[in-house]
Structure 1
């Protein structure tokens, strides 16, 4: 029997068992606001995967060689995953908004031989690839952007690449320990690192469905990018493995999220920290609680809005913590508000200080993981970066880089990313409380609170910046927002600055990027209102 921990083998087995199940529905919101969808059955995934496999082999892609996937959430993204598995190649997902030096770095570092991209990002891709002779082929998928392709033999229309007959071939992957993909970290503090992720990692996460209360009759939804581990491993992986009928939107839309769930009957979806506040910022509607969603798998639901969020949308919350490299903690419905939960039986989680000693309950420290006794040690491999790999996992202990604490009953709590803590007047600031207050202000559509080194020069202290996206920038009055904040926040919690943005810079996983907000702040490219005095 073929090992179904390998993606191509899984699709083949499901195709033989239930070929025509509409396992994946891809949704796009057209300019008129209507939903357009496209289906993938197991049979279609297998056939399209075989076509891509043949095209990869015809371009002399050797086993273990890599190529980039640069597109939003299209069915072809999954087709390429299956085709790559059949060919034994390594795919490299890249956020389609990436361009310039960063894109050059990511393609070059991962040693990509080709790029499969959508037409809407082709110009950025080609501008970089013109001076990269190692890129031997570029496939361009037509989505209606009417891009003129250059007379470069490397550039081909994807529709022509897979046209015609194909020969069905066996999967070239022999072991689930072989590398399936290279997932880039967000790179919020420097160049992103490429995680060499084996098939075993995909299969392990694709097997947690029952642990996070997924049922075979569920219809999961995600609007997160498939270039991110959450959408790809948790939603897609478990949908494929459990034979559910998943729904994936081309990109995340906080204003149409509930409409999509109602239209397609979605019963659960995933949210990451920054998304929860953005959704909570949406104007209240009479039908907020009229939806088919029974629970949300949230990673970073702020305690400040936890109960209000549940009540407003009539959903249960299943809090989840995890990193692309590994480590998991679960807090099922009914667990303590604000807690990320407890680790599953195969993992041990601890909170340690800078000397490696375990912290007492309530004391902040770094969250670390190790395998339970009798199981293989945890390991992380960053491509061509043995120093970072060795630093991330030391003697089987996985260092998350996240600061947290645990209570007397063993429940874990996330506090901040290491180095991102905001201390003001000697106190740690609860940014979630500030964001909740601002999100409830009617004239704000989105908000992100972050800290910068205090302009006073006091060591270790930070000033609080509230980056906001107004509903109407012409009518927005920051002084009135500050008056609103004074009604709920203490003096130490009040923003020092209100930064008005047209949009908050975010990663592919919808995580706000403080670094880019701060760059805009320093350059005064956007309106900044000083309330520090």
Structure 2
């Protein structure tokens, strides 16, 4: 009888325990699997760090070339490039560059190019030469372009042929600095600019000796990726070789394999396109379908044409896809995984409903940051899931933040106050050897502004993410908003001070207070400026339009302008934005004159109540 009772208890336990786990710990199995993934990544990383000679991302590429030389690595405009061909072409670029006067292996080189195979081959060539690469946004011009080039101390600028005019605008300054300027064309008659494609075609494809990069260590800069900052001009975040090595794991940790085909239409000068799409594919040996830019109308046709299995996104990409007219074949594709960040919960649901059973892998990370999260459990709307193991390796917390004073809340002892679960707080992550913060090139002031001291105890040091987060009772973390003087629009960070500076160098504006406002149906915040006109001058919408188009990329141009008699400032002369942000661009709440950027009229035109209603209702898209 006792044996029967024991057997009954065991059977009941076997039945009840899984039910109890599913009821009270529904994410336990997912957590365990994720822990396993983290441990495998860590083990592989440690193993690679111990290899001699030192092992870098380039070495992983060379391994892929040896293992699968004939496999297609990149497809662009219908032309395929195998791993072996990419290797040979990058050798030709490197050998051609070695013959250029003024260049030595190890010198920093700036790449001013759009999405094309030459970008990838040139980066590989520079890696073989032990030269860091500065990835310039091909939309920037004038002062911003010159700043981005100069702050990384580059000795050479390699530009795409179609960007010749932009290069010529800053050429006198480059020549004065003794910079070698190479244009990816076979012929160039512009003084001070040398054609480069012809030199590459004529160069040898012989392998480069490892000795050329013998000076490179894990702490050496590998890539400079630019991010907007509150000072107005972009900051060059330093991505060293160690961080680049960790980036290899991003795609593989999400189950991407050599058999996958990845659709890469995000800019290669961005973290997402470069680190995840390109560097991630070097690790997995996957095939990249490279596009010059994102096109919602071509997206799914391309996915079907090339049998794409993995796509990348930022929030806007998903919204644009969901905004296209529905088709009967919307679910006729082989895409199984979408990896990215910034997707809204409602767009997430709409995407799944319309395009089928695609695993959406949302994550959180920043170019220069030292902490990230992965929503491995698939909770719609969350950017990740927090757990004790992750926090052990990357100590982070949410602290209370005073948005009015634009600073963390501190207690009587001068320490920060942690936000309770469920409440919004500023994400900060402790700076350690495992989770370092390298900072920005030639910008110690901005680097220091990202360091937060005396957070939980005297003398500690944390990285200030600038992002407000919230953790719910199920340990999912949600992005709430950004702090400071930047906002995000069209997948780009916009620095308000930079836009303000551009506006005020026009010959009719006295002051400009730039901020981002939310628009129904759109991700992020669109640019708006409250301006004052110079005494004796009048607001000229056409002149201001021509000015911003000439000096700012499309995503940074203020969509709305509000004229004021005076820009409001605080007692410490900081421009006041919160009231302006709350009033947004609603003519019903604003007595000041309002204008909207009109590309058809090539002017800033009066913003009427009718236009406002059309924007809010979604009839007019920005």
Name the TM-score class by shorter chain. Answer: 0.7 to 0.9
In the alignment, does 2:457 pair up with 1:400?
Answer: no
Contact 1:379/1:396 (8 A) holds in 2:
no
TM-score (norm 2): 0.66
1:367 is matched with which residue? 427
**Aligned to 2:209, what secondary structure does the other structure show?**
coil
What per-residue deviation string (whole Å, max 9, x for no partner) do you get for residues 97-155 of structure 1?
A: 22212111112222222211111111111221233222532222249xxxx72352541
Q: Which has the larger radius of gyration?
A: 2
In the alignment, does 2:382 pair up with 1:339?
Answer: yes
Identify if the C-alpha distance between structure 1 residues 435 and 229 changes in structure 2 by more than 3 Å, giving closer, same or farther.
closer
Which of residues 5, 8, 11 is equivalent to 2:61? 11
1:435 is matched with which residue? 522
Contact 1:117/1:141 (8 A) holds in 2:
yes
In the alignment, does 2:159 pair up with 1:117?
Answer: yes
- CA deviation after TM superposition for structure 1 residue 233, in Å: 0.6
1:292 is matched with which residue? 334
- CA deviation after TM superposition for structure 1 residue 55, in Å: 2.5
2:373 is matched with which residue? 329
| 5+ long unaligned stretches in structure 1 | 27-35, 423-428, 437-445, 468-481, 483-490, 504-519
- Looking at structure 1, the residues matched to 205 and 287 of structure 2 have their Cα atoms a distance apart, in angstroms, of 28
- Looking at structure 1, the residues matched to 429 and 559 of structure 2 have their Cα atoms a distance apart, in angstroms, of 27
- Looking at structure 2, the residues matched to 277 and 336 of structure 1 have their Cα atoms a distance apart, in angstroms, of 18
1:442 is matched with which residue? none
What per-residue deviation string (whole Å, max 9, x for no partner) do you get for residues 404-460 of structure 1?
A: 2111222110011114799xxxxxx99586439xxxxxxxxx9x9999999998983
Identify if the C-alpha distance between structure 1 residues 377 and 347 changes in structure 2 by more than 3 Å, giving closer, same or farther.
closer
Which of residues 176, 181, 185 is equivalent to 1:138? 181
Of 105-114 and 67-76, deviating more is: 105-114
In the alignment, does 2:404 pair up with 1:351?
Answer: no
Q: Which has the higher helix share?
A: 2
Which of residues 89, 94, 98 is equivalent to 1:53? 94
**Aligned to 2:234, what secondary structure does the other structure show?**
coil
**Aligned to 1:324, what secondary structure does the other structure show?**
coil
- Looking at structure 1, the residues matched to 378 and 150 of structure 2 have their Cα atoms a distance apart, in angstroms, of 45
- Looking at structure 1, the residues matched to 75 and 205 of structure 2 have their Cα atoms a distance apart, in angstroms, of 25
In the alignment, does 2:209 pair up with 1:155?
Answer: no
In the alignment, does 2:208 pair up with 1:169?
Answer: yes
1:460 is matched with which residue? 578
2:444 is matched with which residue? 386
- Looking at structure 2, the residues matched to 454 and 357 of structure 1 have their Cα atoms a distance apart, in angstroms, of 40
- Looking at structure 2, the residues matched to 12 and 377 of structure 1 have their Cα atoms a distance apart, in angstroms, of 28
1:477 is matched with which residue? none
Q: CA RMSD in A?
A: 3.6
2:10 is matched with which residue? none
- CA deviation after TM superposition for structure 1 residue 80, in Å: 1.0
- CA deviation after TM superposition for structure 1 residue 310, in Å: 1.1
What per-residue deviation string (whole Å, max 9, x for no partner) do you get for residues 295-348 of structure 1?
A: 21130111222211211111221111110113211113x532211012573423
Contact 2:381/2:478 (8 A) holds in 1:
yes
Identify if the C-alpha distance between structure 1 residues 449 and 116 changes in structure 2 by more than 3 Å, giving closer, same or farther.
closer
Identify if the C-alpha distance between structure 1 residues 52 and 130 changes in structure 2 by more than 3 Å, giving closer, same or farther.
same
- Looking at structure 1, the residues matched to 577 and 469 of structure 2 have their Cα atoms a distance apart, in angstroms, of 22
Contact 2:427/2:464 (8 A) holds in 1:
yes
- Looking at structure 2, the residues matched to 151 and 453 of structure 1 have their Cα atoms a distance apart, in angstroms, of 43
1:40 is matched with which residue? 81
**Aligned to 1:401, what secondary structure does the other structure show?**
strand
